[in-house]
Structure 1
Amino acid sequence: MLKQISAGLFLLILVGFIVYSEVGQGTEKDNSSEELTKYDVSGKTDQEGTAMTAPNAPKGLEVGDEAPDFELETLDGDKIKLSELKGKKVMINFWATWCPPCKVEMPEMERFHEKYGDEVEVLAINATGTESKLRNVEEFIEEEGYTFPILLDQELETNDDYQAVSLPTTYFIGTDGVIQQPRKVGPMTYDFMIEMKDSLK
């Protein structure tokens, strides 16, 4: 009988200790959560993308790096290979239909493409592997009437190669096939695109 009482008492103390520990940790988590940074996903053009980036995430390709080659199918069924565009300035924009800031910059990209498409190739690479269905991309482009090439990254290999961990992200490639300006994370304005065009050689 004494052994049963002792065992019961031991279990009661153990359960009490576990409950106390969990409540204490929960309080600490609640306090720390108040200190977390709040991210603006309102679609304002001055925000820096929609995704939170881990502190140890790769920082992306740097100025002076050769742009990794890729060949992707377009929404129209054609294929575009980056290395075949050598000798031309290229803006590579990574985006998705679920990304509000991506949608904010696209009219600016269309305006830029219509005026400077002969000077700079605008390639909008859709992170198709993150889309719920391809039809979302097709409907969005059809409704908005965008005319710059939409490339489909079904396996997200190109997104990985360019370390596009936040969307939108844009790289600026010179005629030599080298990244000539720091990548832009977040939506671009028309004036910013002109500035980048003029800076590329």
Structure 2
Amino acid sequence: MYKQILGISLILILAGIILVNFVQQNNETQEDDLSEMNGDPPSQGGAIAPDSIGLDPGEDAPEFELETLNGDRIKLSDLEGKKVILNFWATWCGPCRDEMPEMQEFYDEHDDEVEMLAVNLTDTETNESDIPKFIDEFGFTYPILLDEDGAVSDEYKGSIAVPTTYFIGTDGVIQAPPRIGPMTYEFMEETINSIN
């Protein structure tokens, strides 16, 4: 009886070790795939996203017109002639919260040459009133657009993984691969300087 219990215990321990190694290896592979999509070296952490996410550089940025949190309307084609950072986010998204202060810093220093548009995935929010509370709490001043029915994020494939960010050139063309995951100030500056 003792040998049977010992044998079963040993089998369960070995099965547990194999399962842990499989899960860990699978997570590392997915992180590497995500890093390759962003052009970054593999790193710990990050969201998992499918390979087909986003629009490709060279494609015209799909036109849209959305209402801002302040009640104004912004039409993408009205911004032609300016570089545009188009960011998809939600209040429930931790990585979005991490990048937004750096987006604010970038906006404060570059708003004369770059338009920052933060498109909230409003249809995914638990409570729409969370959006202005969140923005007011942290004092973000760049335009917050409300994608109430999810049509714009669907067009840009931005609701699959958030945050997702596009860099649109002065000609209205997407000029860099979409950034999936949080951005740093340095990343925004480097990318904006690399596009027309």
Amino acid at match of 1:192: F
Number of aligned positions between the proteins = 164
Aligned to 1:15: none
Percent identity between the two aligned chains: 52
Amino acid at match of 1:53: A
Aligned to 1:53: 49
Asked if 1:99 corresponds to 2:93, the answer is yes
- For each residue in 1:29-79, what CA deviation from the matched residue of structure 2 results, as whole angstroms up to 9, or x when unmatched? xx8787344489xxxxx66754x4356xx3310000000000000000000
- Tell me if structure 2 keeps the 8 A contact 1:49–1:185: no
Please give the residue correspondences for 1:1-201 in structure 2 after superposition, counting only pairs within 5 Å. 35-36=22-23, 37-38=26-27, 50=47, 52-54=48-50, 58-164=52-158, 165-201=160-196
Please give the TM-score of this superposition, normalised by the length of structure 1. 0.75
Amino acid at match of 1:178: V
Gaps of 5+ in 2: 1-17, 32-42
Aligned CA-pair RMSD: 2.2
SS in 2 for 1:112: helix
Aligned to 2:35: none
Task: Give the whole-Å Cα distance in 2 for the aligned partners of 1:163 and 1:59.
Answer: 6
Amino acid at match of 1:102: C
Task: Give the whole-Å Cα distance in 2 for the aligned partners of 1:174 and 1:54.
Answer: 25
SS in 2 for 1:175: coil
Task: Give the whole-Å Cα distance in 2 for the aligned partners of 1:97 and 1:62.
Answer: 26
- Tell me if structure 2 keeps the 8 A contact 1:181–1:196: yes
Amino acid at match of 1:129: D
Cα shift at 1:199: 1.1
Amino acid at match of 2:185: Y
Gaps of 5+ in 1: 1-30, 41-45
Cα shift at 1:106: 0.3
Amino acid at match of 1:35: F
- For each residue in 1:127-160, what CA deviation from the matched residue of structure 2 results, as whole angstroms up to 9, or x when unmatched? 0000011111110000000000000001111110
Task: Give the whole-Å Cα distance in 1 for the aligned partners of 2:153 and 2:44.
Answer: 20
- Tell me if structure 2 keeps the 8 A contact 1:61–1:162: yes
